[in-house]
Amino acid sequence: MKELSLVIEKAVQSEKSLKFRELNNTFIFNVNKSANKKDIKDAVEKYFNVKVEDVNTVITRGKFRRVGKYNGKLPNIKKAYIKLKEGQRISALEV
């Protein structure tokens, strides 16, 4: 993937992600499914001006939903767990 602007889709705002921020200095982002760890690291370092220590990715399966007699499936989502180096913060995502 060449376009770094298309790698990060949005930051995850949940209780679990806030706990990760406080305890491990780890931020969680939804990312493009075709992005690899190097692309994710480069995009975060470029846009947030921080140093990344580690990147872990996971693909979560979409849940099946039913509305009346119709069945459907939510899309699969790729998440990236970004661990920043000691002393680094992303001030734009602080609550």
Q: DSSP letter at 42?
A: H
Q: Could you tell me if 50 and 42 are in contact, meaning their C-beta atoms sit under 8 angstroms apart?
A: no
pLDDT level of residue 81 (50, 70, 90 thresholds): very high
CA distances from 2 to 18, 31, 35, 48 (A): 30, 14, 9, 18
- Rounded to the nearest 10°, the torsion over CA 31, 33, 35, 40 is 20
Q: Which position has the higher pLDDT, 64 or 90?
A: 64
What is the set of domains in the chain, with CATH numbers?
4-87 (3.30.70.330)
Window from 36-40, 73-77, 91-95 with minimum mean pLDDT: 91-95
pLDDT tens for residues 4-52? 889 999 999 999 999 999 999 999 999 999 999 999 999 999 999 999 9
Residue 2, pLDDT > 90, answer no
Query: In this structure, which amino acid lies at residue 39?
Result: D
pLDDT of residue 90: 86
